[in-house]
Amino acid sequence: MSKPLAGKVALVAGATRGAGRGIAVELGAAGALVYVTGRSTRSQRSEIDRPETIEETAELVTAAGGQGIPVQVDHLDSDQVRALGERIDAEQGRLDILVNNIWGGEQMFSWDQSLWEHSLDKGLRVLRLAIDTHIITSHHALPLLIKNPGGLVIEVTDGTAEYNTKNYRISFFYDLAKSSVIRMAFAQSKELAPHGSTAVALTPGWLRSELMLDLFGVTEETWQDALKLQPHFAISETPSYVGRAVTALAADPAVSRWNGQSLSSGQLAQVYGFTDLDGSQPDAWRYLVEVQDPGLPADVTGYR
């Protein structure tokens, strides 16, 4: 099997579950050595209090054909992130791919409270988890990434720049968090370009993460049962899909053409030809604009 990323070193920050896990595993399948970080280990859970662990993710990376290395890191702790960068430098001497996927704000934001009604402490915590973590990680990781030309930074968010500019995203704090990450990718693209490196923002579509499946009371094998509750869930995708988008970008010798742009998994599938695990190519953001948001009946014909 082709291993286009053999010899490459990646850091997926926030790889315990969801998109981070899917990205790490697909990078491993392409042959990369992947450091996977998060707060939840087999001996200690984060405030999210879910069963997924970084050790599991690392094992999945290795099973896929790469090498997974789990490191427990709180990305709000600058000293821990600095130590992570120093460890990668000492052990590998390079960093080719940085994926900033840290989030952890699922239980912190309200879906129906205005700014003045929302818990200020929880709202500010969302911003710290979604924004400060990314800044701290890039601050400590980029000096290693720019040692060699061709480095790639991927800022994972929710929504494209075009969609988020036109649409209010759930709540004040969520909206600000996800749009800020897109701008962070743009800013880094300007600073990295002189070093021959690239930065982009990337969003999955409606992700069938472990948490989302649990919310609907289904598994990956039975996910279509959730359509009885939410018919538009038909456009959803697995974490592997955005993982394949990252792998396609990382393996593209002309990836700099995307520098500073806001991208989606569905958009990149059309360019690079990869599919989700079921062989389809869901294009969630186009579906949202053309079907779901206008209130049309759920119909994914032509969208996956």
> Over the stretch 251-267, which tens digit does the pLDDT of each residue have?
999 999 999 999 999 99
Could you tell me the pLDDT band of residue 106, with boundaries at 50, 70 and 90?
confident
In angstroms, the CA 200 to CA 107 distance is: 27
Q: Domains in the chain, start-ordered, CATH in brackets?
A: 9-209+239-289 (3.40.50.720)
Cα–Cα distance measured from residue 290 to residue 292, given in angstroms and rounded to the nearest whole number: 7
Average pLDDT in the 47-60 region? 91
pLDDT at 1: 59
Residue 104: the pLDDT is 82
Q: What is residue 169's predicted lDDT score, i.e. its pLDDT?
A: 93
pTM: 0.96
Given pLDDT bands bounded at 50, 70 and 90, which one contains residue 108? confident
Mean pLDDT in residue range 156-185: 96
| 207-233 b/e (C-beta count within 10 Å ≥ 16 → b) | bbbbebbeebebeeeebeebeeeeebb
Q: Mutual orientation of helices 133-145 and 172-192 as an angle, nearest 10°?
A: 10
